[in-house]
A and B are shown apart, each in its own frame.
Chain A
C-alpha cells in the first residue's frame, strides 16, 4: 500500500467551459470516469464487505448503491468509493487516482478469506460513466437506460450494464458501469429489461 502526501486538486481556468457549468446546473452532462472497480463475489461477500465499509450494505438489501470508505484499524480512511450490491457480488468503484484500486485490492485480499468470497479486479473489463445535472435522470431514460426507481439503488441489465442512482447530494446523479468493448468506446444499446432491485428496505 502506498501512502502519498495529499496534494491540492485543481481545476484551472479553461478546463471547464461556461457551457458545461450551465449544463451542470440546468441540464445534464456526461463524462467517463477514471475509476477502478474491485469486486467481492461469493457466499460471504456481503457479510465480509459489511465488516469493512463505513456504511451499511446489509440493511438496504440487494440492489443497494451506497457511498463509504474502508478504514485502517485506527479509523483513518484508506480508500473511499461507491458500493453496488447485486446478488452475491459487491462491486466497489474507487478513484483511479491516489492508488484507489490498489488500496481496495490490498484490503480485500488481506481481509477476506477465499472460502467466503473471491476478489476480482474488474477495472479493465468495464467503463464507468457518470451523469450530473438536474436533467440527468431524464436524459438517462431518454437514452434507453432503465433507471432505478429510487436514489441509492442499482439495476443490472442482461448485457451486464449496471445503472446506479447516487444518494442525494452526491456530485453525480447516475453512474453507468458498462462492459468495455476492446479497442472502441462502449456503445449505448437499446433498452432491455433489467432485473429489478427489491424495494428499499430502510
Chain B
C-alpha cells in the first residue's frame, strides 16, 4: 500500500477521520442508552425504515414516523486562541448556564499550512434545541456548535 502511494498511519489518524466525518464510536458517542437516531444513523445511512422487523425496531420506527430525538451528536469547534486543550476528564456541555449534554470525542487537528487547521474539534451529544452556531461551554472551554461532517479547511471562527 505504501509503495502504491498510501501514507502508513496509526489508529489515531482513522480516529481523527471518524471525528471529522461525525461518525459515532462505541464507548464514546454510543452506549446502551443511545438510540440510533441520536448517533446520526439517519444521516450516515445506518438504518433502513423499509426492511421490516428487527430487534429494537419498534422504538426506532416510532421515533422516525411519530416523533424526534431530544438529543443528537453535533460538532464542536473550539476557540483556537489560545490553543488550550479542553479539560481532560471534564465532559459537561453547558448552554446559557444550563447542562445540555456531554462531550464524547475530542481531537487536535494539526496545522497543515491551511489557515485554521491547528485547533481542537470535538463531538458532543447535546440537546436538540442547541442549534448549530450556538456558543457553548464544553470541557471547560468555549466552543461553537457546528453541523457535521466538519468541513475542511476549518475556517469558521469559534
A100 to B85, CA, bound (A): 29
A18 to B110, CA, bound (A): 6
A159 to B15, CA, bound (A): 29
A98 touches B27 (CB 8 A): yes
- If A80-B26, A80-B46, A188-B1 touch, whether A20 touches B32 (CB-CB below 8 Å) is no
- If A9-B106, A11-B12, A55-B48 touch, whether A143 touches B1 (CB-CB below 8 Å) is yes
Residue of B nearest to A98 (CB): B27
**Which one of A29-37, A38-46, A84-92, A119-127 contacts B?**
A29-37
A111 touches B45 (CB 8 A): no
A9 touches B25 (CB 8 A): yes
- If A71-B36, A77-B35, A80-B24 touch, whether A19 touches B7 (CB-CB below 8 Å) is yes
| A156 is an interface residue with CB less than 8 A from chain B | no
A142 to B1, CA, bound (A): 8
| A183 is an interface residue with CB less than 8 A from chain B | no
- If A13-B108, A21-B110, A31-B13 touch, whether A72 touches B1 (CB-CB below 8 Å) is no
| B30 is an interface residue with CB less than 8 A from chain A | yes
Centre residue among B26, B110, B113 by max chain A CB count within 10 A: B26
Centre residue among A8, A50, A188 by max chain B CB count within 10 A: A8
Chain A residues lying within 8 Å of B17, measured Cβ to Cβ, are: 24, 132, 171-172
| Size bin of chain A's contact surface | 35 or more
Q: Is the interface of A mostly helix, strand, loop or mixed?
A: mixed
User: What 1/0 flags go to B91-119 for Cβ under 8 Å of A?
Assistant: 10000000000111111111111000100
A68 touches B47 (CB 8 A): yes
A77 touches B14 (CB 8 A): no
B5 touches A27 (CB 8 A): yes
Kindly identify which residue among A12, A15, A18, A27 contacts B111, using a CB–CB cutoff of 8 Å.
A18
A28 touches B27 (CB 8 A): no
Report B137 CB to chain A, min CB distance, Å. 15
Centre residue among A9, A29, A72, A111 by max chain B CB count within 10 A: A9
Report A121 CB to chain B, min CB distance, Å. 17
Chain A residues lying within 8 Å of B81, measured Cβ to Cβ, are: none
| B66 is an interface residue with CB less than 8 A from chain A | no
A159 to B56, CA, bound (A): 37
Chain B residues lying within 8 Å of A13, measured Cβ to Cβ, are: 85, 108, 110
Can you report 7 residue pairs joining A to B where beta carbons are below 8 Å apart?
A: A18-B110, A24-B13, A25-B112, A54-B56, A72-B55, A75-B60, A133-B6
Give residues in B with beta carbon < 8 Å to A. 1-21, 23-36, 39, 41, 43-48, 50-60, 63, 85, 88-89, 91, 102-113, 117, 139, 149, 152
Give residues in A with beta carbon < 8 Å to B. 3-13, 15-25, 27-34, 50-56, 58-59, 66-80, 94-95, 97-100, 111, 129-133, 135-136, 138-140, 142-143, 167-172, 188
